[in-house]
A and B are shown apart, each in its own frame.
Chain A
Amino acid sequence: MVEERFENEKLGEEFEPLIVAYCCNWCSYAGADLAGTSRFEYPTNIRIVRIMCTGRVDPTLVLEALRMGADGVLIAGCHPGDCHYQKGNFMMEKRFDYLKEALKNAGIEPKRVRLEWVSASEGGKWAALIREMTEEIKQLGPNPLRRTKAPKRTDATISAFKSQRLRWVVGRSQIKVEIEEEKYRQTVDLIMQDEIERHMITGALKEKGSLTAEELAQMTGLQPSKIVQHLIALRRDGKISEAGEKNNQYLYQLA
């Protein structure tokens, strides 16, 4: 069924994107309902997943949807100040900055993901938004990840967003941080970069069993000096261990 649809693309039929929309129950889901009640027409390319609040949207939910081949992901919630839960949409907005950074890292065009505010009374806005987004994604073409067998960088990005270290610093940004906001952001971006690279390394080790630093550099495309830095950190955290030697180099494996 799904395969069939993707097959059609190869046959040169017009590309019909599939867009996943995470809609909050109180505003945007209701806004989409109102578009229906008002009979505002829009393209058939959107599939809505109902959630209670955009505050619920863990970045991994977006990254996983893209990893599975969604051509676009829309996160739609209440206008600032209208949140049913007071500040869920603000939390999403904050997180969205990091999510965009993550998309760049994962090799996905940031334009494929949008965060929009649609109230329960904005059926017209909803219809216009879907028209616009569908058109934009059509211009971008199919999600490149669909044709990539194993998008290692994307997988590592998803793993990074499941890691305690990255989640902790992203989560802390929701509450008052003692340092300048921009500085904090930069730090989080650095940690994100780190975590993605480390998960690329552990991903490679998981796949191959044991590898040397040189082999890891080849597999991941990272600088050997970076690899060594990460290996030291991963060993210190007890994530990997040494597994003998190969060509006078240490072999590493998952702990």
Chain B
Amino acid sequence: MMKQEPRIGVFVCSCGTNIGGVVNVPEVAEYARKIAHVMHAEHNLYMCSEAGLTTIKESIREHNLNRVVVASCTPRTHEPLFRAACKEAGLNPYLFEMANIREHDSWVHPHEPEKATQKAKDIVRMAVAKAILLEPQNEPEVEVKGSSLVIGAGVAGMTAALSMANQGFKVHLIEKEKELGGMAQKLYKLYPTLANASEVVEPLIDDVKSHRNIELATSTTLKEASGYIGNFNAILTGPEGDSELIVGTIIVAPGSSNYTPPKGLYEYGLNDNVITQKELDEKLRKGEIGEPEQIVMIQCVGARKGEIRPTELEAFPKSDTAELLRKILKARKEEGWPYCSRICCMNAIKNAILIKEKSPKTDVVVLFGDLRVYKEYEDFYRKARDLEVRFIRHIEEVRPGISQTPEGKLQVMVYDALSGMEVTFPADWVVLSTPLIPSKDEIMLARMLKIPIATDGFLMEAHLKLRPVDTNVDGVFIAGTVSGPKDISESIISGEAAAARASILMGNRKVKTDAITAVVDEELCIGCGLCEEICPYGAPKIEEGKSKVREILCRGCGSCAAECPKRAITMRHYSDGQILTQVKALLTSEGSKEVGQ
């Protein structure tokens, strides 16, 4: 292909006053016009508006532009939009570059307009330099099989399976236990309706069992997984031995576990009347609580313990995700978990209400550092107050203490933050509210499917806000509490969401994957195999003495390019040249010679 002379258009956005209120936008556009290869530069109030996008498209045609630079906000949100505009105007979307002069400039330097303008010019010059070296890329396209593997038949997994099955996709639903229903199956009543959990779970189980598109396998786990989006190869192991499947998508919904306090924490494991909220649930179901005089609940037991970064863990492993999680689990066992488990406050309130409704004379006291009752649960909390459940706030750092009276009855001491006094409550039962924590099944699944684990130990979403049920592995989605504590309705939502995301792929039957992949220069490659050994995805493979990168497996991290002894690997869209040209444009007169005048 003949290399075209770069013809670059630069579009500088004011973003209302977000950029224009600090950076001298007309001056930046004027400056851009003088940079070599820039054929057209202008500024606009909102580049992302319909009018702004039309301007870009028209300018591409009018000035015969073959590269576009938009200086505006972060590419993390707006790059897809501008790329699409380029594509509409017939330009390969990879010939677009973004200069972030809002998040990285005007918003952080509001009181230094001159320096911010100078910085904006630098950022634009760097982006133009990269644009000059951009190359068109093609996103590889793969077929997507119209079938899905759902791992875990809890509420989230069953919801996801049903949703996809109802759309006509073949679903293989596997569950490691003999019974379906997961954690919800073991619950008694649900907040805030106080309905029996079985009313939600049983119909789901019946539907799943009778659906013709769902192939169900209990006592079955995933043994091995390989392949890629659209064509995953899964080996299952169950009572009848191993079986093999090929599916287009995978939904991971193995759930989570409930934190069990270490023996001795608040006398847990030493005194039979100290139980967890989950154990209370079971006792309420069986009617084993009766009409005691006093019940004390302690919130956040093992939760919100201040974050321990895994770097601080002793003998931290170098690269093994599974090993990492094992270490996290071990440390957490003693130290507790850093996050708010989200469901425990409502769960405690629910059980308090259940006790009060049955036995109004029982004094129920809830000791908390912070009580988090969001959305409609505020009313639920009020209901508990109306039933005279007592909520006592202590300072988060000063935890309640527990002891026994000479008569052998439990008593809980707490520093009441409101009265500023130490108060003692005798208790027939002490109930500990403990968080949901990552399950051990997650270790194996994360390893097999190559999903990253976040520092809280749960599986990591592709993007916390924008892609909450996607994982970094294309075609693999997460549902339920495997990505963090959720209640039943939230688990159902995530199950539906994951099913919808998977169905888009299966419905389209084809998918384009990212073009940012590694390319091997076979002339330079000596077939040493280092890339094969370090790649977390198994993308490069040595064949006939040369490394061949299977694009579809490559995620584009570039670790192989950074380590290749022969420097034979280039990252598409992020080559050494494309990176260094920006630095060169910033720092050297040679680089900024591109600036005309």
Residue of B nearest to A87 (CB): B319
Task: Please state if B565 and A33 are interface contacts (CB–CB under 8 Å).
Answer: no
Task: Please state if B455 and A82 are interface contacts (CB–CB under 8 Å).
Answer: yes
Residue of B nearest to A164 (CB): B565
Query: Is A58 in the interface zone, CB < 8 Å from B?
Result: yes
* Cα of A91 to Cα of B78 in the assembled complex, Å: 30
Given contacts A79-B309, A79-B455, contact A3 B589 (CB under 8 A): yes
Task: Please state if A56 and B571 are interface contacts (CB–CB under 8 Å).
Answer: yes
Residues of A near B555 (CB, < 8 A) are: 85
Query: Is B256 in the interface zone, CB < 8 Å from A?
Result: no
* Cα of A82 to Cα of B455 in the assembled complex, Å: 6
Task: Please state if B562 and A91 are interface contacts (CB–CB under 8 Å).
Answer: yes
Closest chain-B Cβ to A238's Cβ sits at a distance in Å of 16
Bitwise, A156-173 to B at CB < 8 A (1) or not (0) is 000000101101101110
Query: Is A90 in the interface zone, CB < 8 Å from B?
Result: yes
* Cα of A35 to Cα of B110 in the assembled complex, Å: 13
Residue of B nearest to A70 (CB): B587
Closest chain-A Cβ to B42's Cβ sits at a distance in Å of 21
Task: Please state if B557 and A85 are interface contacts (CB–CB under 8 Å).
Answer: yes
Question: How many B residues face the partner with a CB closer than 8 A?
Answer: 71
Residue of B nearest to A51 (CB): B574
Residue of A nearest to B528 (CB): A168
Bitwise, A1-36 to B at CB < 8 A (1) or not (0) is 111000000000000001010100100011011111
Task: Please state if B591 and A85 are interface contacts (CB–CB under 8 Å).
Answer: no
Instruction: For chain B, residues 577 to 597, give those with C-beta under 8 angstroms from any C-beta of chain A.
Output: 579-580, 582-584, 586-589, 591-592, 595
Query: Is A249 in the interface zone, CB < 8 Å from B?
Result: no
Query: Is A50 in the interface zone, CB < 8 Å from B?
Result: yes
Residues of B near A65 (CB, < 8 A) are: 580, 583, 587
Interface residue stretch chosen among B279-287, B505-513, B530-538: B530-538
Task: Please state if B566 and A164 are interface contacts (CB–CB under 8 Å).
Answer: yes
Instruction: For chain A, residues 175 to 210, give those with C-beta under 8 angstroms from any C-beta of chain B.
Output: 175
* Neighbour of A55 across the interface among B558, B588, B595, CB < 8 A: B558
* Cα of A243 to Cα of B478 in the assembled complex, Å: 67
Residues of B near A83 (CB, < 8 A) are: 452
Bitwise, B538-549 to A at CB < 8 A (1) or not (0) is 000000000000
Residues of B near A25 (CB, < 8 A) are: 76
Residues of B near A49 (CB, < 8 A) are: 126, 579, 582-583
* Neighbour of A60 across the interface among B119, B324, B576, CB < 8 A: B576
Task: Please state if B565 and A82 are interface contacts (CB–CB under 8 Å).
Answer: no
Query: Is B112 in the interface zone, CB < 8 Å from A?
Result: yes
Residues of B near A30 (CB, < 8 A) are: 76
3 smallest CB-CB distances across A and B, nearest first, come from A36-B103, A56-B558, A55-B559
* Interface positions of B (Cβ within 8 A of A): 74-76, 100, 102-105, 107-112, 115-116, 118-119, 122-123, 126, 309-311, 316, 318-319, 321, 324, 328, 450, 452-455, 460, 464, 472, 516, 528, 530, 533-534, 536, 555-559, 561-567, 571, 574, 576, 579-580, 582-584, 586-589, 591-592, 595
14 extra A-B contacts, CB within 8 A, seeds A36-B104, A81-B328 = A47-B123, A52-B557, A53-B558, A56-B562, A56-B571, A69-B587, A82-B452, A82-B455, A82-B460, A83-B452, A85-B536, A87-B321, A87-B536, A90-B319
